[in-house]
Amino acid sequence: MTRKSHQIADRLRLLDASGIRKVFDLAAKMKDPINLSIGQPHFDVPDPVKEEAIAAIRRGENRYTQTQGTPQLRAALADLCRREFGWQDDRAFLVTSGTSGALLLALLTLVNPGDEVVFADPYFVMYSHLVNMAGGKPVPVDLYPDFRPDVGKFADAITDRTRLLILNSPANPTGVVYTERELKDIAALAAQRDLLVLSDEIYNEFCYDQPFVSMAGLYENTLLMRGFSKSHAMTGWRVGWCTGPHAILEKMTMLQQYSFVCAPSMAQAAALVAMKTDMSAFVAEYRRKRDRVADALGKTFGLVRQAGAFYAFVPAPGGDATAFVTRAIENNVLIIPGNVFSARNTHFRLSYATDDDKLAKGLEILVRLAEKS
């Protein structure tokens, strides 16, 4: 009997393969490409973190943990937030299978069919797809050309159907870091409209020119998400965490019980050591890489130096990102076209999370291609 296409759920028709994943798969088939595409730190997990994971395995910490995470890790996260935000009340914490897992749990918990979710454009690719999968309507807010958060544009995008506002600072793909003034203005808008803010802060450690400011310290009705993938190169270990209103965390925890079950046990044990590991030398190295990219591409591409994460969102010569990315790949340089992250296709994303030699070679090739355009 012929299988019918309707056996695939309708929600999957709203998704397509990530453009980032396509380039990732392409890189696996190329011989020594200059890979400036993937948002994955080029340094390795610090040795003390590795050793703790190995020790945890040998201690027999290989079983399910509590769905919400080990008591030890949740206590450490609570202490971190007390120090950062001055919180004294009893907050709920949920350890998740990466920050991506936290995003999925949150949107499935919060979004009903037809609900609208507002976020900046350009945006992390997962936002629109997960909103669609939850049955909601993505509402990207165009922040070109400087990518600064415009509270007026956010206000115009909010309707009676708006369920929440997603913020991402430092931002992927633009590298923009929101200022305290910008966040306070958004917090005032959210309070006026009685909106939950989901603050995705996975790049919070990569903030180069100013102290990092979190929405969670300014607005009570914030669902805060962070993790260890970027800050400690633990991308494959799948440990994120979130905190926010008790009622939301309770339902997210219940949903995790029926999906991921829990974050990996040995990785949770290692995360405790990661929280005590000084990563400032790596952040300083990435600040130097940021400067190298801005200096190399600023004049030729009109790139503005940004303050965080490890990406540059670069104007494409001629305004056609796909055409320029195709030429770059033909010259062994992997970058991502802007339409993966945006309704526009005028820019490309470059990740400088790579070694200095490859970064220098990649920048040289990109400049040469632009000058020939």
Residues 267 and 348 reside in one and the same domain: no
Residues 51 and 160 reside in one and the same domain: yes
Instruction: Report how far residue 7's alpha carbon sits from residue 246's, in angstroms, rounded to the nearest whole number.
Output: 37
Domain closes at, from 257, 274, 291: 274
Residue 148 domain boundaries: 47-274
- Tokens 């607005």 sit on residue: 219
CATH value at residue 346: 3.90.1150.10
Q: How far is CA 39 from CA 60, 285, 289, 360, in A?
A: 33, 16, 14, 18
pLDDT of residue 11: 80
Domain count, the chain: 2
- Give the number of other CB atoms < 10 A from CB of residue 9: 9
Residues 95 and 15 reside in one and the same domain: no
Residues 112 and 224 reside in one and the same domain: yes
- Tokens 């600064």 sit on residue: 148
SS3 352: coil
Residues 99 and 166 reside in one and the same domain: yes
Rg over CA atoms, the chain:
21
Token pair belonging to 204: 């919070």
Domain closes at, from 223, 244, 274: 274
Residues 98 and 231 reside in one and the same domain: yes
> Could you write out the DSSP letters of every residue in 299-326?
HHH-PPP--BTTEEEEEPGGG-HHHHHH
Domain closes at, from 274, 298, 326: 274
CA–chain centroid gap for 132, Å, is 18
| Grouped pLDDT means (10 residues each) for the chain, 373 residues | 66 68 63 89 95 97 96 97 91 95 97 97 96 96 97 98 97 97 98 97 96 96 97 95 97 96 97 97 96 96 94 96 93 95 96 96 97 83
In single-letter form, the type of residue at position 45 comes to V
pTM over 0.85: yes
Instruction: Report how far residue 109's alpha carbon sits from residue 97's, in angstroms, rounded to the nearest whole number.
Output: 16
Token pair belonging to 237: 């270990």
Nearest to 203 by CA among 293, 257, 279: 279
pLDDT of residue 2: 54
Residues 165 and 188 reside in one and the same domain: yes
Instruction: Report how far residue 100's alpha carbon sits from residue 312's, in angstroms, rounded to the nearest whole number.
Output: 21
Residues 143 and 220 reside in one and the same domain: yes
CATH value at residue 234: 3.40.640.10
CB proximity list for 156: less than 8 A, separation 6 or greater: none
Residues 219 and 124 reside in one and the same domain: yes
pLDDT of residue 371: 93
pLDDT of residue 119: 98
Which helix (H) or strand (E) segment holds residue 197: the answer is strand 196-200
pLDDT of residue 10: 79
